[in-house]
Amino acid sequence: MCNLERFDIDLKALTCEQTALSWELDNHFFQSLEGAQVQEGSLHVSGSIRKAVGFFELLLHTDGTVRIPCDRCLEMMDQPIEADLRLVVKLGSEYQENDDIITVDENEGVLHLAWFIYESIVLAVPIQHVHQPGDCNDAMMRVLNEHSAARSSDADAKEIDPRWEALKKLKV
């Protein structure tokens, strides 16, 4: 398992105006997150956190690949990912997430980034993810084609109820 504490940033300990950040994410990162849908991947996260008066601005860029099932054949596939994340963080009396501003409890002063990074990765996964043409599992594609052909031929073979046929004449 991955130690998610390495994704924690102690905001009160930041001394520089701008601090560079960089992480390599692998399968251990995804498996360490409870409830994560994506379980495999290899990504690089880089960026910076800028300290300003009253707030912090975090900019991260993530690129690499995640392994997810193909929607068509259900075989695992590599999906390229590129995502940008911008967070504005300030210190306050308690932890809150409002719109684009995250308020971190000033007594703790630590921003836990692991889940924010994971969410930016998942949001970058396209809604439909399929293999390139010809790369899907051949056995699964044959079964899929058989079932879709049977379904379309059944629809064509059905006779139209004569009552509906009479109504079609009225439509003209």
Q: Which amino acid is at 164?
A: W
Over the stretch 97-132, which tens digit does the pLDDT of each residue have?
887 788 888 888 888 999 999 999 999 999 988 888
76 neighbors 39 (Cβ within 8 angstroms): no
82 neighbors 44 (Cβ within 8 angstroms): no
With CA atoms as reference, report the closest residue to 80 among 65, 101, 91: 65
Residue 82 has pLDDT above 90, yes or no: yes
Task: Report the distance separating Cα 104 and Cα 68, nearest Å.
Answer: 33
Q: What is the DSSP letter of 134?
A: T
Polymer length of the chain: 172
Over the stretch 54-68, which tens digit does the pLDDT of each residue have?
889 999 999 999 999
What is the end-to-end Cα distance of the chain in Å, rounded? 69
Supply 102's token pair. 């995250």
With CA atoms as reference, report the closest residue to 89 among 159, 145, 9: 9
Alpha helices in 36-92 (DSSP H): none
Strands 110-112 and 40-52: unpaired
Distances (CA, A) of 138 to 116, 128, 146: 37, 19, 12
In the prediction, which pLDDT does 25 show?
Answer: 92
CA angle 79, 83, 88 (to 5 degrees): 155
58 neighbors 49 (Cβ within 8 angstroms): yes
Task: Report the distance separating Cα 100 and Cα 119, nearest Å.
Answer: 14
In the prediction, which pLDDT does 151 show?
Answer: 57
Q: Which of 21-30, 58-67, 141-150 has the lowest mean pLDDT?
A: 141-150
Residue 157 has pLDDT above 60, yes or no: no
With tokens 């912090």, the residue in question is 56
